[in-house]
């Protein structure tokens, strides 16, 4: 029996179709949250999760005091929806991790918006270098709300955070929204990964959701291009 699609994804797909079809034209304001709650017979949190996806994908933008606006989605490359797994699983048996930063702090406005939390909430800020066959191959900048991922320890960072989330916290990871592009390395990356100004990295920006729609991770991972493999779309329904 096929698993029923979560309600927030039903709303996401319907609103996205209305944007693509022109029902919600570019630069127009979509229906407010309370109207969408009645239209889809869903909670305000469920509607917000659906709209968060469309914001992450570049279809919508929120303007304080005005509402949610349809962006010009015809320009630029959009993020896409993917099944999510950690780097440790993708490179099982080959990967080692070096933790550069593990801090508890308040997020800035941009990170708070990505995680759909307030700037007064607490997050983990994690920076790790991932070594594949002893070569520094990936550098990761990860932000997670403590309220969703409690009691994260240094020992989890040297292995798999996702294993901790799945096996110890018992949470179900649903999907992630990715943007991929090439970037030049910053000073930390040049030093850590032995790069120069003429090198480039493949950047994967990710917003990851649990099965209940909560965002548990915002991350930026920068990969050496020769080790980067971006495969086809898979979605965990």
Same domain, 90 and 25: no
- Domain's final residue, options 74, 102, 133: 74
Containing domain of residue 207, as a range? Answer: 81-227
Contact 208, 173 (CB under 8 A): yes
- Displacement of CA 191 from its chain's centroid (Å): 26
Contact 100, 125 (CB under 8 A): no
Domains identified in the chain, total number: 2
pLDDT at 237: 38
Count the helices and strands in the chain (H runs, E runs). 8, 9
pLDDT at 51: 87
pTM: 0.66
Q: Rounded to an integer, what distance in angstroms lies between the CA atom of residue 32 and that of residue 1?
A: 35
Which mean pLDDT values do the consecutive 10-residue runs of the chain (237 residues) have? 72 90 88 90 88 82 79 62 47 76 94 88 96 92 96 90 92 82 93 92 88 87 81 40
Q: What is the pLDDT of residues 173-215, one digit of tens each?
A: 877 778 888 899 999 999 999 999 999 999 999 888 887 778 8
Strands 60-63 and 123-132: unpaired
- Domain's final residue, options 51, 74, 97: 74
Q: Rounded to an integer, what distance in angstroms lies between the CA atom of residue 204 and that of residue 227?
A: 13
Could you tell me which of 109, 214, 102 has the C-alpha nearest to residue 154? 102
- Domain's final residue, options 47, 74, 101: 74
- Displacement of CA 91 from its chain's centroid (Å): 20
Task: Report yes or no on 124 lying in a domain.
Answer: yes
């Amino acid at each position: 029996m096929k698993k029923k699609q979560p309600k927030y994804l039903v709303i996401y797909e319907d609103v996205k179709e209305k944007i693509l079809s022109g029902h919600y034209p570019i630069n127009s304001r979509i229906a407010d949250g309370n109207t969408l709650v009645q239209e889809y017979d869903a909670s305000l949190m469920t509607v917000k999760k659906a709209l968060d996806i469309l914001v992450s994908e570049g279809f919508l933008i929120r303007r304080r005091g005005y509402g949610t606006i349809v962006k010009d989605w015809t320009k630029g490359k959009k993020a896409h929806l993917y099944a999510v797994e950690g780097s440790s699983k993708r490179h099982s048996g080959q990967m080692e991790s070096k933790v550069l930063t593990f801090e508890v702090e308040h997020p800035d406005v941009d990170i708070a918006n990505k995680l759909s939390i307030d700037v007064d909430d607490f997050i983990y800020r994690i920076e790790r270098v991932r070594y594949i066959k002893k070569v520094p191959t990936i550098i990761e900048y990860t932000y997670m709300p403590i309220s969703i991922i409690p009691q994260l320890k240094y020992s989890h960072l040297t292995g798999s955070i996702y294993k901790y989330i799945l096996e110890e916290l018992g949470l179900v990871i649903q999907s992630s929204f990715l943007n991929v592009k090439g970037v030049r390395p910053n000073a930390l990356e040049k030093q850590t990964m032995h790069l120069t100004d003429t090198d480039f990295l493949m950047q994967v920006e990710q917003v990851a959701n649990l099965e209940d729609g909560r965002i548990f991770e915002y991350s930026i991972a920068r990969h050496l291009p020769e080790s980067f493999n971006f495969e086809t779309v898979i979605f965990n329904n």
